[in-house]
């Protein structure tokens, strides 16, 4: 075992927090069966206590340690999408901590697809509770440096696995009802899930505190953010120049002018590379004292649904310093 994994496992066993990379975003990990350790997550993030945490496990064979009455659909989805950016909501086993489930009868489980995360989980051989390693309501971290900037000394160790490949949080699908329901869209789409389930899952009601990602003011930069249609972006640029303001822009086309007041970041026009870059770019622009950040609205298509969800929330929650 590499020494840093050994150290991370030892810290987890001691009830300390270890941040680690996953393919989606960095997680703030704690031993999911240790109430003192789990309490440290909420303290470090400033997260309300009734918001449940995802338990990360090394493989689908661990499901029964945390969940009961597991439907066949869970194993079918696990087989296709794990390790990967999909979280399953299942009925919990009674011994799962209330702090993990938010006192609900369900538990969220995921096998992340990152070599360091998998090595850590296998060596730990248990469940690691991990929310995204950001302060509550802020943009999720996709590099180890982001985690340092967000949480600094609140975490005992940060495993650095480079930039996250997927870049936005996992799709969350609830399998406890008669029909599978997507509680949080992500890069595994409803269509992808429907192919395995034989029926497209329904979209869950947002706004409920069950999923903290469903609060409107989430994934938000401090700088006011506007999502604009492609043809309006250039007007925003002109307006901003006229007002002599500094504007941040994230758009798929190259910057049409050269002016130091316009901080332009070109982003891919395809969902996968867009998701990969968007949080890091928002974080960067948020640190540059722009008056406003403009993001060109992606297409309203199914394979963009996770991205559009996060952008909408970023817009809704932005500007709160
Ligand atoms: O990609 C991800 O899912 C990342 C990485 C680190 O795995 N984690 C993540 O965790 O995004 P967090 O805590 O930031 O968001 C997890 C979401 C929350 O909105 C939480 O409310 C929801 O999962 N959740 C967890 N357990 C749940 C449950 N039993 N029922 C409903 N929602 C649940
Ligand atoms: Mg989060």
Could you report the per-residue pLDDT of 96-114, keeping only the tens digit for each?
Answer: 999 999 999 999 999 999 9
| Cα 243 from chain centre | 35
Confidence category of residue 204, pLDDT binned at 50, 70, 90: confident
Our CA angle for 34, 38, 44, nearest 5°, is 150
Residue 215 has a pLDDT of 56
315: alpha, beta or left, given left = phi > 0 and alpha = psi -120 to 50? alpha
Q: Which is more confident, 215 or 10?
A: 10
pTM of the model: 0.96
State mean pLDDT over 224-239: 95
Q: What would the pLDDT profile of 236-263 be if each residue is shown by its tens digit?
A: 999 999 999 999 999 999 999 999 999 9
pLDDT band at 209 (very low <50, low <70, confident <90, very high): very low
Ligand 2 centroid to Cα of residue 39, in Å, is 16
Cα-to-centroid distance, 248 and ligand 1 (Å) = 30
Task: Encode pLDDT of 115-143 as tens digits.
Answer: 999 999 999 999 999 999 999 989 999 99
- Mean pLDDT of the region 182-186: 97
Ligand 1 pocket mutation, candidates 32, 207, 211, 218, criterion most atoms within 8 A of CB? 211
Between strands 292-296 and 225-228, the pairing is parallel
Ligand 1 atom at shortest distance from the alpha carbon of 132 = 14
In sequence order, the β-bridge partners of residue 251 are 266
Given ligand 1 and candidates 28, 48, 52, which is best to mutate, with the most ligand atoms within 8 Å of its CB?
52
Q: For 3-203, which CATH superfamily applies? A: DHBP synthase (3.90.870.10)
- Ligand 1 atom nearest the C-alpha of 100 is 26
> How much is the pLDDT for 142?
98
Residues with CB under 6 A from ligand 1: 22, 24-25, 27, 51-54, 87, 89, 101, 104, 106-108, 110, 112, 130-132, 169-170, 172, 183, 210-213
- 8 A C-beta contact, residue 139 and residue 219: yes
CA of 281 relative to ligand 1 center, distance in Å: 23
What CATH code would you report for 225-317?
3.40.50.11030
pLDDT over 80 (residue 179): yes
- Residue 207: per-residue pLDDT: 40
Predicted local distance difference test score (pLDDT) of residue 216: 52
For the chain, domain boundaries: 3-203, 225-317
Q: Is the pLDDT at 39 greater than 80, yes or no?
A: yes
Q: Rounded CA gap, 213 and 225, in Å?
A: 18
- Span 280-298, mean pLDDT? 97
- 201 Cα–ligand 1 center, Å: 18
Asked whether 67 and 156 are in contact (CB, 8 A), the reply is no
Measured between alpha carbons, how far is residue 144 from residues 19, 20, 286 in Å? 8, 8, 18
Distance CA 321, CA 289 (A): 12
Site to substitute for ligand 1 among 212, 217, 309, most atoms within 8 A of C-beta: 212
pLDDT of residue 292: 96
Mean pLDDT rounded to a whole number for the chain: 94
Question: Per-residue confidence at 214, pLDDT binned at 50, 70, 90?
Answer: low
pLDDT value of position 314: 95
Dihedral sign of CA atoms 263, 269, 270, 271 in order: positive
Q: What is the 3 state secondary structure string of the chain? A: CCHHHHHHHHHHHCCCCEEECCCCCCEEEEECCCHHHHHHHHHHHCCCCCCCCEEECCCHHHHHHHEECCCHHHHHHHHHHCCCCEEEEEEECCCCCHHHHCCCCEEEEECCCCHHHHHHHHHHCCCEECCECCCCCCCCCCCHHHHHHHHHHHCCEECCCCCCCCCCCCEEEECCCCCCEEEECCCCCHHHHHHHHCCCCEECCCCCCCCHHHCCCCCCCCCCEEEECHHHHHHHHHHHHHCCCCEEEEECCCCCCCCCCEEEEECCCCHHHHHHHHHHHHHHHHCCCCCEEEEECCCCCHHHHHHHHHHHHHHHHCCCC
């Amino acid at each position: 075992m590499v020494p840093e994994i050994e150290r991370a496992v030892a810290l987890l066993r001691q009830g300390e927090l270890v941040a680690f990379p996953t393919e989606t975003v960095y997680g703030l990990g704690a031993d999911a069966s240790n109430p003192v350790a789990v309490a440290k997550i909420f303290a470090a993030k400033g997260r309300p206590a009734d918001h449940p945490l995802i338990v990360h496990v090394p493989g689908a064979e661990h499901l029964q340690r945390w969940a009961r009455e597991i439907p066949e659909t869970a194993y079918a989805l696990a087989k296709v999408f794990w390790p990967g950016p999909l979280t399953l909501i299942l009925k919990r086993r009674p011994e799962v901590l209330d702090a993990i489930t938010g006192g609900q009868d369900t538990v969220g489980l995921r096998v992340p697809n990152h070599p360091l995360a998998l090595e850590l989980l296998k060596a730990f051989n248990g469940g690691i509770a991990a929310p995204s390693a950001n302060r509550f309501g802020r943009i999720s971290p996709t590099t180890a440096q982001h985690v340092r900037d967000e949480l600094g000394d609140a975490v005992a160790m940060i495993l650095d696995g480079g930039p996250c490949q997927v870049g936005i949080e996992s799709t969350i699908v609830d399998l406890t009802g008669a029909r599978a329901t997507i509680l949080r869209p992500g890069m595994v789409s409803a269509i992808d899930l429907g192919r395995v389930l034989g029926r497209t899952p329904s979209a869950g009601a947002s706004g409920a505190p069950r999923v903290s990602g469903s609060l409107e003011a989430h994934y938000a930069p401090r700088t006011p953010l506007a999502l604009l249609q492609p043809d309006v972006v250039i007007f925003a640029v002109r307006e901003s120049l006229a007002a002599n303001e500094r504007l941040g822009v994230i758009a798929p086309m190259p910057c049409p002018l050269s002016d130091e007041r316009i901080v332009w970041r070109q982003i891919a026009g395809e969902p996968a590379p867009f998701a990969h870059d968007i949080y890091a770019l928002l974080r960067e622009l948020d640190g540059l004292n722009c008056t406003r950040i403009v993001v060109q609205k992606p297409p309203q298509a199914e394979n963009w649904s996770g991205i559009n969800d996060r952008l909408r929330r970023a817009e809704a929650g932005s500007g709160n310093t």
